[in-house]
């Protein structure tokens, strides 16, 4: 029997990247994340995998149905597994994190380090919105702490994920400094520009993936940029089987599907035998927003055109900025092969993610956003409190790496490492 490849996930978020690696057979030694809500999500997902592996999935299903609470769910999970989620801030708490990881891993070697620091500092949109172009943002330098983990644990490979703006930030200086530092730690690196839609994700999501490997290994890395998945569909597959909602409606736990599965839901592992829908919750909207949403959807349905904000009737224009972000209202068109990028801003409002059904007249639900990111329907996003938190869920989803893309990357690297 082959031994499991091991990894540490830094800046783990809700665990989208980690989910792909777990699906590919890797074993997480630790997840490090500063956001408390995301840490609960990570623990809940570890609970799912543990219970599934030990043929006790009924306990997890009770949780999804609301029959047991979060802490009762955790009571069925070994404490040493739950403790692999480290709720600490990389940088200021490195010493504590190192001690925790050393305790958790024991004499096990670390095969990989995965994860990427928060991307706002490198994002083109983030730099455009910040008056200083994010030049003074401390997150620009989190890669230095990533280097410290590489230096200490010496994995064979690391996978560093971020936004395309990383390559151009400060005229490419950050990326150049990063590559130099990683080389100092003993790693050769190669950046890949990836499109999530090429991996079966129904979303136009561009990302930079830096893969580093110890120079003595002399690896030939897989050609990820030219990978094309045979998992394809139109965006309508995301919505086809979910109960219809009006703005402000929905259930955290739980719905029954209103329709049959489809090829994409099955092939992308969205529906995998657990017939329970959670977090199909829509945020409420003002009367004015709903009027705009109807205009946006009708314009797409009739003309196949996106709305320019300046074309709205004057009485509906409330934003002072009329010179940029003209497409701040946008339908998730279900007749296209992929949607617009799902980002963390969806936690603040849903204007950029309007549901394509004009009769529902709302922005997309938490579950619909999760599906666009290729999270399976049994993946539950936690808040800090045990009650549902729609905002925390949206934020975690928008910041995540699509698990379907991560799984392909993990499989390709496993073939190389073995």
Catalytic residues: 119
- Sequence-separated (6 or more) residues with CB below 8 Å from residue 149: 8, 10, 113
Using CB atoms within 10 A of its CB, is residue 39 exposed (0-12), middle (13-18) or buried (19+)?
buried
d(CA 38, CA 48): 15
DSSP state, residue 401: P
Q: How many CB atoms lie within 10 A of CB 228?
A: 11
- Sequence-separated (6 or more) residues with CB below 8 Å from residue 412: 222, 224, 227
Q: Do the Cβ atoms of 367 and 242 come closer than 8 Å?
A: yes
Q: Do the Cβ atoms of 76 and 59 come closer than 8 Å?
A: yes
**94-105 vs 143-153: helix axis angle to the nearest 10?**
30
Closest listed residue to residue 378, CA positions, set 280, 250, 275: 275
CA 355 to chain centre: 20
Q: Which helix (H) or strand (E) holds 395?
A: helix 390-399
What is the full DSSP assignment across 63-118? HHHTSS-HHHHHTTS-HHHHTTEE---TTTTHHHHHHHHHHHHTT----EEE----
Q: H helices then E strands: how many in the chain?
A: 15, 9
Q: Which residues pair with 9 in a beta bridge?
A: 31, 114
- Sequence-separated (6 or more) residues with CB below 8 Å from residue 293: 285, 329, 354, 361, 362, 363
d(CA 196, CA 29): 26
Q: Do the Cβ atoms of 219 and 413 come closer than 8 Å?
A: no
């Amino acid at each position: 029997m082959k031994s499991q490849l091991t990894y540490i996930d830094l800046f783990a978020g809700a665990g989208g990247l980690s989910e792909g690696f777990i699906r590919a057979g890797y074993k997480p030694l630790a997840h490090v994340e500063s956001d408390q809500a995301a840490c609960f999500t990570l623990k809940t997902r570890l609970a799912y995998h543990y219970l599934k592996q030990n043929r006790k999935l009924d306990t997890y299903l009770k949780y999804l149905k609301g029959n047991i609470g979060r802490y009762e769910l955790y009571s069925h999970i070994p404490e040493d597994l739950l403790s692999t989620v480290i709720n600490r801030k990389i940088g200021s708490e490195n010493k504590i994190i190192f001690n925790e990881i050393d305790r958790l891993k024991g004499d096990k070697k670390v095969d990989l380090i995965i994860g990427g620091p928060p991307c706002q500092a490198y994002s083109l949109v983030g730099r455009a919105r910040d008056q200083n172009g994010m030049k003074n943002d401390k997150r620009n330098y989190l890669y230095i702490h990533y280097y410290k983990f590489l230096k200490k644990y010496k994995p064979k490979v690391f996978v560093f994920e971020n936004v395309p703006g990383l390559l151009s930030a400060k005229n490419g200086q950050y990326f150049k400094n990063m590559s130099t530092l990683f080389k100092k730690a003993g790693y050769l690196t190669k950046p890949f520009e990836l499109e999530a839609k090429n991996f079966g994700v129904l979303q136009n999501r561009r990302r930079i993936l830096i893969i580093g490997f110890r120079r003595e290994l002399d690896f030939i890395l897989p050609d990820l940029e030219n990978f094309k998945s045979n998992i394809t569909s139109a965006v309508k597959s995301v919505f086809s089987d979910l109960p219809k909602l009006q703005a402000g409606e929905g259930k955290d736990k739980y719905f029954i599907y209103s329709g049959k599965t489809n090829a994409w839901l099955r092939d992308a592992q969205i529906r995998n035998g657990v017939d329970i829908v959670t977090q199909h919750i829509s945020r409420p909207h003002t009367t004015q927003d709903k009027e705009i949403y109807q205009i946006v959807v009708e314009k797409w349905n009739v003309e196949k055109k996106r709305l320019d904000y300046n074309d709205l009737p004057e009485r509906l224009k409330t934003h002072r900025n009329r010179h940029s972000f003209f497409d701040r209202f946008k339908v998730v068109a279900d007749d296209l092969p992929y949607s617009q990028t799902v980002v963390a801003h969806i936690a603040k409002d849903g204007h950029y993610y309007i549901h394509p059904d004009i009769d529902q007249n709302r922005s997309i639900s938490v579950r619909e956003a999760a599906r666009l990111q290729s999270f399976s329907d049994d993946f539950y996003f936690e808040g800090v409190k045990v009650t549902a938190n729609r905002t925390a869920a949206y934020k975690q989803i928008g910041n995540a790496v699509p698990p379907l893309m991560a799984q392909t990357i993990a499989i390709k690297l496993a073939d190389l490492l073995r």
